[in-house]
């Protein structure tokens, strides 16, 4: 059986399951889809342009991913990789040639048809280090890209087998636009998605309208979507309550989610996300260079209490750098369970029986992290660790803590899917140096089956959990609040996106 058939079967099965699931849900509450109407979605900040291959800002991806731009493949609402501009793909027996069959009759919003040369131009840019393309490491297995206009195919020649490439081609960075338009996409995005960009009023809103020539029949349902930029969380929610906004699908505080569930005009949904709230320690710096201290800190933290205290009980406790939404998730919460007695013993052994003190810095823009940090500081105090709490402005956090690794302890949500690879990088701000992780990562990348790759990822997860590199506290859920007549939005967040293709309004 060739890989292409298998991956196709897999996505077909996944689609079947998804259909069955949504059908089940639909039978209970959602009315049949209706055409027409508009939607207003609240977002938190002005995105730096609209091209996700120029900036990794998640604000860009939320607006344009699959709404305006598509890649060869994409993630669906369940996080499965499904066909987008490519209708199928196949991998050669030596796993060094990946060939995509492009869908026929696809047109860009400017009316030009999609050609193999557009795809080739895109990946030549992505693999050119001087082009300023985001995340070039996603594409570093690509040696060359060849298009065949007649056959409508694009072939990637690879320098080594790559298990992760298809996944990376589904990311927002891998979207396709007309060859030669890279310069203008930042201000005037032209893609193939179900909605076309109409107008952007800086600081206020961006308006998208349904694209009449969209290549998939039947969608979108809505005539237009407006993403309104509202920075203050209380104002965002008030706008939803007042009916000025129809959906909040980003940065919804747990208390507002609970409030939405109580409100007869609103509903709230809770799903999975790929974020891990991570209590990060500087492994190269004393006292965190001592495994016993890191173990003690892990034992000192009552994660359930944090989820209750900072999140009103919403969130899943985790034990490694993985959220339950990841396909290779493994439950390691019992590696070093909450045990303040054991924490004190370990601190005593490490020579900190009389107490220990260090700086704990909280990132200013992130409410959940700030709240969690305050609970953690109290829990650490109970085992004799005295932290100096301070709040750090975001630009400073990135420059000094994240890039400079000049810190003792901090806390942050790592939201990118499949980001366990950072533990292979000894320069990453945790300053964790273990060559075995890099070996396992290479094994995962060269794996012939997904199961084999997943086994390697799980081994990494186990190693870092046993080394207590950080404390992985919990995975916050993906929370959405919407007016009751809004249906068909993503209730999970496998990748940062607010895909409104399947959204419709019906009472």
Residues that bind other proteins (CB under 8 A): 45-46, 48-49, 54-57, 129-137, 186-187, 201-205, 228-232, 234-235, 238-239, 241-244, 394-396, 398-400, 402-404, 422
Whole-number minimum distance, CB 31 to other proteins, in Å?
25
State whether residue 158 is helix, strand or coil.
Answer: strand
> 68 vs 38, 64, 81, 189, 220, CA distance in Å?
16, 5, 18, 8, 12
CA distance 442 to 187: 38
Closest CB to other proteins among residues 106, 469: 469
How is 232-294 classified by DSSP, letter by letter? Answer: -HHHHHHHHHHTS--EE-SS--HHHHHHHHH-TTEEEEEE-B--EEEEEE-TTSTTTTSHHHH
Whole-number minimum distance, CB 418 to other proteins, in Å?
12
Is residue 360 reached through a cis peptide bond, with omega within 30 degrees of 0 on the bond before it? no
Closest CB to other proteins among residues 134, 379: 134
Cα torsion angle, 130, 135, 139, 145, sign: negative
Whole-number minimum distance, CB 454 to other proteins, in Å?
22
Closest CB to other proteins among residues 103, 236: 236
Closest CB to other proteins among residues 237, 474: 237
Give the β-pairing of 247-248 and 478-483: antiparallel
Closest CB to other proteins among residues 399, 449: 399
Residue that is written with structure tokens 């710096």 in the block: 285
Which pair of tokens denotes residue 176? 């396709």
CA distance 146 to 32: 44
Nearest to 358 by CA among 293, 277, 433: 293
Nearest to 157 by CA among 173, 139, 174: 139
Whole-number minimum distance, CB 468 to other proteins, in Å?
23
Closest CB to other proteins among residues 357, 399: 399
Whole-number minimum distance, CB 203 to other proteins, in Å?
3
Closest CB to other proteins among residues 52, 83: 52
Whole-number minimum distance, CB 90 to other proteins, in Å?
30
> 269 vs 20, 248, 456, CA distance in Å?
19, 11, 33
Whole-number minimum distance, CB 258 to other proteins, in Å?
17
Nearest to 273 by CA among 320, 316, 306: 316
Question: Phi/psi of residue 86, each to 5°?
Answer: -95, 135
Whole-number minimum distance, CB 395 to other proteins, in Å?
3
CA 489 to chain centre: 16
Whole-number minimum distance, CB 229 to other proteins, in Å?
7
Closest CB to other proteins among residues 296, 420: 420
CA distance 200 to 248: 19
Whole-number minimum distance, CB 173 to other proteins, in Å?
10
Closest CB to other proteins among residues 186, 371: 186
Give every CB contact of residue 89 below 8 A, 6+ residues apart in sequence.
4, 7, 72, 73, 98, 99, 100, 101, 166
CA distance 198 to 146: 33
Whole-number minimum distance, CB 6 to other proteins, in Å?
30
Evaluate whether 442 touches 306 at the Cβ level (below 8 Å): no
**Which residues does residue 74 pair with via DSSP β-bridges, in sequence order?**
82
Closest CB to other proteins among residues 54, 210: 54
Whole-number minimum distance, CB 419 to other proteins, in Å?
8
Closest CB to other proteins among residues 230, 347: 230
Which pair of tokens denotes residue 357? 């003190």
Closest CB to other proteins among residues 154, 175: 175
Cα maximum dimension of the chain: 76
């Amino acid at each position: 059986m060739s890989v292409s058939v298998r991956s196709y079967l897999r996505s077909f099965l996944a689609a079947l399951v998804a259909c069955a699931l949504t059908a089940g849900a639909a039978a209970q509450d959602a009315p049949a889809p209706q055409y027409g109407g508009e939607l207003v979605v609240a977002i938190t900040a002005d995105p730096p342009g609209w091209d996700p291959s120029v900036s990794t800002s998640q604000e860009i991806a939320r607006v344009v991913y699959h709404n305006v731009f598509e890649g060869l493949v994409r993630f669906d609402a369940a996080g499965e990789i499904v066909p987008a501009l490519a209708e199928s793909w196949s991998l050669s027996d030596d796993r060094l040639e990946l060939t995509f069959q492009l869908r026929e009759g696809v047109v860009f919003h400017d009316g030009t048809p999609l050609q193999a040369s557009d795809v080739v131009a895109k990946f030549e840019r992505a693999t050119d280090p001087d082009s300023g393309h985001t995340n070039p490491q996603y594409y570093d297995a690509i040696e060359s890209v060849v298009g065949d206009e007649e056959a409508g195919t694009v072939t990637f020649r690879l320098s080594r087998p790559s298990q992760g490439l298809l996944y990376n081609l589904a990311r927002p960075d891998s979207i396709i636009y007309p060859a030669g338009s890279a310069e203008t996409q930042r201000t005037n995005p032209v893609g193939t998605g179900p909605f076309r960009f109409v107008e952007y009023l800086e600081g206020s809103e961006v308006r998208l309208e349904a694209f009449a020539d969209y290549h998939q029949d039947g969608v979108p349902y809505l005539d237009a979507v407006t993403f309104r930029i509202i920075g203050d969380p209380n104002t965002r929610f008030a706008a939803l309550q007042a009916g000025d906004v129809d959906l909040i699908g980003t940065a919804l505080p747990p208390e507002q989610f609970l409030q939405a569930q109580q409100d007869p005009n609103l509903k709230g949904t809770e799903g999975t996300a790929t974020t891990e709230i991570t209590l990060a320690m500087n492994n190269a710096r004393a006292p965190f260079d001592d495994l016993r201290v890191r173990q003690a800190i892990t034992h000192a933290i009552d994660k359930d209490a944090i989820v209750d205290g900072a999140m009103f009980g919403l969130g899943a406790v985790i034990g490694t750098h993985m959220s339950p939404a990841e396909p290779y998730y493994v439950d390691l919460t019992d590696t070093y369970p909450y045990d303040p007695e054991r924490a004190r013993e370990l601190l005593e052994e490490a020579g900190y029986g009389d107490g220990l003190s260090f700086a704990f810095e909280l990132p200013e823009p992130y409410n959940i992290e700030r709240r969690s940090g305050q609970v953690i500081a109290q829990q650490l105090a109970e085992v004799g660790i005295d932290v100096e709490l301070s709040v750090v402005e975001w630009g400073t956090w990135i420059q000094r803590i994240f890039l400079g690794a000049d810190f003792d302890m901090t806390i942050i949500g790592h939201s990118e899917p499949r980001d366990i690879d950072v533990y292979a990088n000894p320069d990453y701000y945790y300053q964790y140096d273990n060559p075995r992780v890099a070996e396992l990562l290479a094994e995962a990348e060269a794996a012939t089956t997904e199961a084999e790759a997943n086994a390697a990822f799980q081994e990494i997860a186990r190693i870092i959990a046993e080394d207590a590199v950080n404390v992985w506290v919990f995975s916050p859920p993906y929370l959405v609040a919407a007016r009751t007549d809004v249906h068909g939005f993503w209730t999970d967040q496998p990748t940062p996106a607010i895909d409104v293709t399947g959204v419709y309004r019906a009472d």
